[in-house]
Amino acid sequence: MRFRGLMMGRVLVGIDLGGTNVRIGIITPTGRILKKEEYALDPSQGGLKIVEELVSNLKNILRKRIGRSNQLLGIGIGIAGAIDMKRGRMVLSPNIPGLNGFGIREFIKKRISSPLAIENDANAFALGEGWVGAAKGSNDYCGITLGTGVGGGIVINGEILHGSRGMASEVGHMVIDPEGPLCGCGGKGCLEVYASATGIRRMALEAIEKGEGGEILKRAGGKVEEVTSEKVFEAARSGDKAAQKIFNEMGRFLGLGLVNVIHLFDPEKIVIGGKASRAWDFFIKATLGVVMERAIEGSREKVTIVRAKCGDDAGILGAAYVSLKSLGH
Ligand SMILES: [Zn+2]
């Protein structure tokens, strides 16, 4: 109870800097979200403009929302891309090219006086789910987000696996089929081309070309360019066999990816989130089927594969958790 008394009125700020929007949350040291704000981000802007805008919005929120009644413990930011954790610099930022090479930590620290921690966004997702979500209580687990791409965060003994240059746990770029479709990374047949929203759309377009995706096309107003993973999901829910087949296919490929993750890291849990995971009921059976069939005995019985619990808040929660951890709590 002493801990709780000490923490009264103390807050963290968790920021999820995504490719198209920025979410900022004021969060208690126990993982309760007090306030949330969001603004749109234009990823084609230069890094300086993006970070200046972030600092200005952040200053506003600190003044308006935290004021004198609360004490800011620290700020955490989850950013899409690879981060040089020692220097606090972006190494590679494919979704926000302007941030490539940007020394984001130093820049913000010079302008806002608060402890600041940064982390990759998929790692923040995994940590958020571990703190207050579906992986709460697990020390060895993996978080996978099925969004526009496929991201992952691997937690070993309570710590994120960063690798030698901050580029570890790119589960989305595991090669599933060496002759598969082209991936945004330049490779072929990565998990991402099957298990992301983009992958679902690609499979839908292929089905339409073969004359099987009539219902999906109808839901997209007859326009191929309006076909999205959401339309495929809607079609699957209405009972359309072609859409259900796409999710079944996606589920099988995701299962192959999970088999690799299980064999490499022996996690006790795998948490799956992201917008494409909304179609859970349509793909998970195929995923679990592949895991039971392909993962070696002994590992497959131990791992539980669960749906994420924090929704869109996992990123801000994980970022706040990174900040809390960096303070030694
Ligand atoms: Zn790839």
If you measure from the C-alpha of residue 114 to the centroid of ligand 1, how many angstroms do you get, rounded to a whole number? Answer: 36
Q: State the pLDDT confidence band at 5, using cuts at 50, 70 and 90.
A: very low
Among the residue ranges 18-32, 64-78, 261-275, the one predicted with the least confidence is 64-78
Q: Is 297 helix (H, G, I), strand (E, B) or coil?
A: coil
Q: Which residue type occupies 108?
A: I
If you measure from the C-alpha of residue 44 to the centroid of ligand 1, how many angstroms do you get, rounded to a whole number? Answer: 22
If you measure from the C-alpha of residue 20 to the centroid of ligand 1, how many angstroms do you get, rounded to a whole number? Answer: 21
102: left (phi over 0), alpha (psi -120 to 50) or beta: beta
Instruction: Please report, for residues 57, 236, 287, the alpha-carbon distance to residue 248 in angstroms, rounded to integers and kept in the order given.
Output: 43, 10, 8
**Is 50 exceeded by the pLDDT of residue 6?**
no
What whole-number percentage of the chain has pLDDT above 70?
97
pTM of the model: 0.93
Residue 117 tokens, joined: 């921690």
If you measure from the C-alpha of residue 288 to the centroid of ligand 1, how many angstroms do you get, rounded to a whole number? Answer: 23
If you measure from the C-alpha of residue 186 to the centroid of ligand 1, how many angstroms do you get, rounded to a whole number? Answer: 6
pLDDT at 8: 56
If you measure from the C-alpha of residue 187 to the centroid of ligand 1, how many angstroms do you get, rounded to a whole number? Answer: 5
Higher pLDDT, 30 or 85: 30
User: 135-194, pLDDT tens digit by residue?
Assistant: 999 999 999 999 989 999 999 999 999 998 888 999 999 999 999 999 988 999 999 999
If you measure from the C-alpha of residue 163 to the centroid of ligand 1, how many angstroms do you get, rounded to a whole number? Answer: 18
Using alpha carbons only, give the angle 266, 271, 274 rounded to the nearest 5 degrees: 140
Q: State the pLDDT confidence band at 301, using cuts at 50, 70 and 90.
A: confident
Residues with CB under 5 A from ligand 1 (ion): 173, 183, 185, 187, 190
DSSP structural state of residue 227: -
If you measure from the C-alpha of residue 256 to the centroid of ligand 1, how many angstroms do you get, rounded to a whole number? Answer: 15
pLDDT at 295: 94
Residue 244 tokens, joined: 């259900």
Q: State the pLDDT confidence band at 96, using cuts at 50, 70 and 90.
A: confident
The residues facing 156 across adjacent strands are 159
If you measure from the C-alpha of residue 68 to the centroid of ligand 1, how many angstroms do you get, rounded to a whole number? Answer: 47
If you measure from the C-alpha of residue 190 to the centroid of ligand 1, how many angstroms do you get, rounded to a whole number? Answer: 5
Number of helices (H) and strands (E) in the chain: give both, helices first. Answer: 11, 12
